[in-house]
Amino acid sequence: MAGPSIEDIMAMAQKAQEDLAKAQDELGKIEVEGVAGGGLVKVRATAKGQINGIEIDDSLMNPDEKGMLEDLIAAAINDARMKADHAAAEEMKKATAGMPMPPGMKLPF
């Protein structure tokens, strides 16, 4: 019994490439929200890591709280980044389901 032909392998590779490209496009549509300070600072970002917006509670608009505000913004961005990475990993897992991958190989490259 013969294995898949070279044409079959090429077609599978082409479909895999198309699925990955589609998944990459989807990452720009998935939005996550990073939060810090119990919701006083919120950062919206895409699963690709693009920051779409920042919300800061008015109570933090005090010059004496500048250092805390800066820390909360950094924490909210880091939270958004972690959530974006998780969402991207889940999306790529869907796109690569059933695709044989060598151990330790991660997508996107």
The CATH number that domain 26-93 falls under is 3.30.1310.10
Q: pLDDT truncated to tens, each residue of the chain (109 aa)?
A: 567 788 878 887 788 788 777 878 888 888 999 999 999 999 999 998 899 999 999 999 999 989 999 999 999 999 999 999 999 888 888 777 766 555 555 555 4
Collect all residues with Cβ–Cβ distance below 8 Å to 4 and sequence separation of at least 6.
12
pTM of the model: 0.70
Q: Which two tokens stand for residue 43?
A: 């950062």
Quick one: which of 66, 79, 97 has its CA closest to 38?
A: 79
Q: What is the amino acid identity at position 13?
A: A
Ranges of each domain in the chain: 26-93
